[in-house]
Structure 1
Amino acid sequence: MDWSLFAEPIALSIQVSLAASVIVFAASLAAAWKMARARFPGHSLLETFLLLPLVLPPTVVGLFLLVLLGRRSWVGEAYESLTGGPLLFTWGAAVIAAAVVAFPLAYRTMKTGFEQVDQDLEDAARASGATEGQVFRYISLPLARRTVISAYLLGFCRGLGEFGATLMVAGNIPGRTQTIPSAIYVAADGGSMPMAWAWAGTMVLLSFAMLLLSNGLTKDS
């Protein structure tokens, strides 16, 4: 039991989750605002597609990502032509997996926040000559800011706990792609229960803190 390696999965998980949550924040913010306000043919179908990773087993999501990010895909080919190496089983693949599974939760939370904003205020701003960008920046986003921040924190937590999809596309390489969930699995499988419990406790503390802050923001909104 090498406790000197204890911090590696924790640091890597935080790095992956932070990077994934930035991607998720930008994507879910744009999607939630559009889907909360626009109505168009296929709206329900598109929303179902956006929420699908929320209910699919992570291994199913991982299987799709395995094909999408593989060397024979255009994404994998483009990445390899730029970097000289494959995308699969890298830190970047772990970030993508975490972002994909975290997106639906952040999106749904943000969309709920935008739906609670009084549209009469937005319409009044438009009638005064404000552009859609100005309406979003000065009215909708400030009024929904607590929910938006809460969605970011939830996305971070979801990315932090991702295991199945990450394992399929990024593997479990110590120091490179081994996140806390992967490390817990390996430690428990190998009989290193003190190490497994230490990582599990760290995960609980991190997630508890993020959820506590998220709940506080939601209740105060």
Structure 2
Amino acid sequence: MDQVASALTLSLKVAGLATLVDLVLGVAVGYLLARKRFPGRELLDTVLTLPMVMPPTVLGYYLLVLLGRKGWLGGWLQDTFGINLIFTWQGAVIAASVVAFPLVFKPARAAFEAVDGRLEQAARVLGVSEWGVLWRVTLPLAWRGILAGLLLAFARAMGEFGATLMVAGSIPDQTQTLSIAVYEAVQAGQDDVANMLVLIISVTCVAILLAAGKLAPGRIAAREG
């Protein structure tokens, strides 16, 4: 039970922090691509969507190259601040953030694009600043789509395996998340532990998907219609 509790606690912490990171970055980038026109916009959209279709092990390899002691970012962090992200729970957060990012970014962009620009323009005519328009008009109209994306991202981060295993490894009580604990339990022949972990992950993901489905913009529009 201690192993299950430790893996569950770590998974919740990693998924929660990864979702928070994606909330800030995904919403900002989604708003930028929804509202601004610039050369290479769709190419940037494609690149940022790659984690959704790219094998997690490939993403993990890229992160190792970037964050490892021989990588330009990892080497700089190590030499300058003495920070090592490989085989740490912080590395697991980064891996989960990268993998789940498109699940926040894409719904956020779609939600912002669905906001009626006339309402934003009316607020500007009334003297509301751009920040005021964002906080008082755009976000209140787009929040359901953004929240649905956040729930999906949390579920994806909870179940992340490939990239997390390559970047953070499988260290009990330190970097061993639920999905990695399932793999280790199966390898060790601990079927009872594996069954419990699988049940926890399945129930959590089903609950999140049901909540996300109720918040989906399409279903909301259908109800309102």
Normalised TM-score (structure 2): 0.92
The residue aligned with 2:94 is 96
The residue aligned with 2:74 is 76
Amino acid in structure 1 at the alignment position of 2:134: F
C-alpha displacement of 1:4: 3.1
- 1:1-221 matches, within 5 Å, as 3-81=1-79, 84-218=82-216, 219-220=219-220
In terms of mean alpha carbon deviation, does 68-77 or 189-198 score higher? 68-77
Amino acid in structure 2 at the alignment position of 1:120: R
Normalised TM-score (structure 1): 0.94
Provide structure 1 residue ranges, at least 5 long, that are not aligned to the other structure: none
In terms of mean alpha carbon deviation, does 17-26 or 116-125 score higher? 116-125
Per-residue CA distance 1:53-84 (angstroms, 9 max, x = gap) = 11100011011000110112342134334653
C-alpha displacement of 1:174: 0.5
In terms of mean alpha carbon deviation, does 138-147 or 118-127 score higher? 118-127
Amino acid in structure 2 at the alignment position of 1:112: A
State the distance in 1 between where 2:61 and 2:35 align. 33
SS at match of 1:6: helix
C-alpha displacement of 1:112: 1.4
Q: Identical aligned pairs, as a percentage?
A: 43
C-alpha displacement of 1:128: 3.0
C-alpha displacement of 1:122: 1.1
Amino acid in structure 2 at the alignment position of 1:172: S
Figure out how many residues of one structure are paired with residues of the other and give that number.
Answer: 219
Q: Say if 2:64 and 2:71, in contact at 8 Å, map to a contact too.
A: no
C-alpha displacement of 1:18: 0.5
Per-residue CA distance 1:94-116 (angstroms, 9 max, x = gap) = 00000000001111111111111
CA RMSD between the two structures: 1.5
Provide structure 2 residue ranges, at least 5 long, that are not aligned to the other structure: none
Amino acid in structure 2 at the alignment position of 1:8: S
Amino acid in structure 2 at the alignment position of 1:114: F
